[in-house]
Amino acid sequence: MSEIQLHNSLTRKKDPLVPIDPGNVGMYVCGPTVYDRAHLGNARPAVVFDVLFRLLRHAYGPEHVTYVRNITDVDDKINARARETGRPISEITAETARWYMEDMAALGVLEPTHQPRATAYIPQMVEMIETLMSEGHAYAREGHVLFDVDSWRERYGRLSGRSVDDMIAGARVEVAPYKRNPMDFVLWKPSAEGEPAWPGPKENGVEVSRGRPGWHIECSAMATELLGPEFDIHGGGNDLMFPHHENEIAQSCCANHTERMARIWMHNEMLQVEGRKMSKSLGNFFTVHDLLDGNWSGGWKVPGEVIRFVFLQTHYRKPMDWTERKAREAWGHLGAWHRFKRHALSDPARSFSGEGVDEEVIAALSDDLNTPLIFQRRLFELAGDAKMSSVDSPEVERFFETLAFLGFLDLDVERHSRRAAVANAVTSRIGVKGGSVQLLPGDLARLRDRLVEARAEAQATRDFGTVDALKRALVDAGVEVRMSKDGVELVPGPDFDPAKLEAIE
């Protein structure tokens, strides 16, 4: 087993994973705020840290890894959604938490060991706030309790690499009259009438206010309760490094009297769509459910395993660009492996546990989750070895065990053999003479996707026989085939004969 090395945002280098408890590993990852569907960017950390979770389970044993991913179910955005819709907050959070877990499951994400909801840990938050107040790290003003950054000034900012003075100079923070310092952050706030409220922390025996916790204290309290005052790995998107994770560190270390909160801090980069920041104003914003349901610009239902494959082609510390071309290519690779399973195994319906995973894949993941090495090279080598071997051979076993380990456990052969994932892509657009746009007929859309799939398989195996046969059949049916690095385009010509499409497979 390779030593696991992970890039530590705190030390700015790869550090070996040396668990505090040699036989057990604890990991905390910031989860969703449940007021709406998870967008595609929300899914990236879930997939990234799911891969790390799988690696840790392989290295230490499932019973020796504790993975905590929280659910924030008390927040101003949730309150606003309740006001907009007139629905009870409990109904909104229950529904959207269920949506999130269903969508992540569709991407092959394992359930964490614990998924604590913030509202279940209010007493622990209040206790932590009272400790901070009693030791001079927090103060009460106008019904609020705020963390006093000056009380930890020499250490505040180490994660983000900025001094307090620099942060004040360039900060966009709420400068409220009850703050001593612009960088002080809220631990507790009073609730307005009709908003969720709990008994608040007390100062000298008197309740500061009936209200609700600030965002940052939630993670500190839940991590302390479930993993201890200090644990091994803390993860999340790099947009959380400041202020959220910086504030977590400050309040946790001060309340728990520790030098650090987590030994290794990991942050994934952000996601783009077709080379641009995902934004509703740009028309390129969509949720995971939109992709799964076909309600996006591509117009076809994207299987969850395709989304996962696209994500893992890019290293987690690099910006990830979602494109339809990448999704089509990923679907092509996976479709080829689905069909291969039918004749590579005497029992194509058998399942795999992931225990027989390829050691080179483990070595790549142990090197700071080097998924590009796996998804751009090693998997295709394993597929090639398997295709050159006999039914049920060790090479075949190793290939499918590796896929299972990487989160592609439910290779649904029948679904993909029917190509149902994209068979409904009748709204795919193609360019035609004169610059106008028309919709592909259903059979032609199916064959375009079949050709995309065959080309992806051929690029991996270097066998272009199927691609050439499909092209010849399409040309014979009066279809012009245009293939480029950007994809496959089928253009019906003047001699187009739809009847001939039916015979093409």
Share of the chain above pLDDT 70, in %: 89
C-alpha 118/C-alpha 128 separation (Å) is 14
- Whether the Cβ atoms of residue 383 and residue 65 lie closer than 8 Å to each other: no
Bridge-based pairing state of the strands 262-268 and 231-237: parallel
Q: Which position has the higher pLDDT, 54 or 418?
A: 54
C-alpha 143/C-alpha 164 separation (Å) is 25
C-alpha 56/C-alpha 28 separation (Å) is 13
Kindly list the domain boundaries of the chain, sorted by start residue: 5-268, 284-415, 429-503
What does the CA dihedral 463, 468, 469, 470 come to, rounded to 10 degrees?
110
C-alpha 262/C-alpha 389 separation (Å) is 46
Peptide linkage before 243 cis (omega within 30 of 0): yes
Which bin fits 333, alpha (ψ -120 to 50), beta or left (φ > 0)?
alpha
Tokens representing residue 27 in the block: 């990991």
Counts of helices then strands in the chain (DSSP H, E)? 17, 19
Longest dimension (CA), the chain: 88
Strand partners, 203: 206
Residue with tokens 């989160």: 407
The predicted model scores a pTM of 0.83
C-alpha 501/C-alpha 505 separation (Å) is 9
- Whether the Cβ atoms of residue 5 and residue 17 lie closer than 8 Å to each other: yes
Q: Which of 490, 472, 474 is nearest to 482 (CA)?
A: 490
* pLDDT on residue 177: 87
C-alpha 169/C-alpha 172 separation (Å) is 9
Instruction: Mark out the alpha helices in 345-423 (DSSP H runs).
Output: 359-366, 371-373, 379-387, 394-405, 413-417
* pLDDT on residue 283: 81
* pLDDT on residue 81: 94
Q: Strand, coil or helix: what is 311?
A: helix
How confident is the prediction for the chain on average, in pLDDT? 88
* pLDDT on residue 480: 86
**Mean pLDDT of the region 356-377:** 97
User: In the structure, what pLDDT confidence band is assigned to residue 239 with cuts at 50, 70 and 90?
Assistant: very high
* pLDDT on residue 172: 55
* pLDDT on residue 421: 36
Q: Which of 101, 108, 466, 32 is nearest to 303 (CA)?
A: 108
Q: Across the beta sheet with 144-147, what order do the strands follow?
A: 138-141, 144-147, 185-190, 211-213
- Whether the Cβ atoms of residue 461 and residue 491 lie closer than 8 Å to each other: no
Burial class (CB in 10 A: 0-12, 13-18, 19+), 55: buried
User: In the structure, what pLDDT confidence band is assigned to residue 336 with cuts at 50, 70 and 90?
Assistant: confident
CB atoms within 10 A of CB 493: 13
Tokens representing residue 394 in the block: 């060790």
- Whether the Cβ atoms of residue 350 and residue 336 lie closer than 8 Å to each other: no
- Whether the Cβ atoms of residue 371 and residue 406 lie closer than 8 Å to each other: no
The amino acid sitting at 412 is D
Angle at 380 between CA 335 and CA 354, to 5 degrees: 80
- The domain defined by 5-268 folds into Rossmann fold (3.40.50)
Exposure b/e, 313-323, CB count within 10 A at least 16 = b = bbbbeeebebb
User: In the structure, what pLDDT confidence band is assigned to residue 279 with cuts at 50, 70 and 90?
Assistant: confident
- Whether the Cβ atoms of residue 304 and residue 107 lie closer than 8 Å to each other: yes
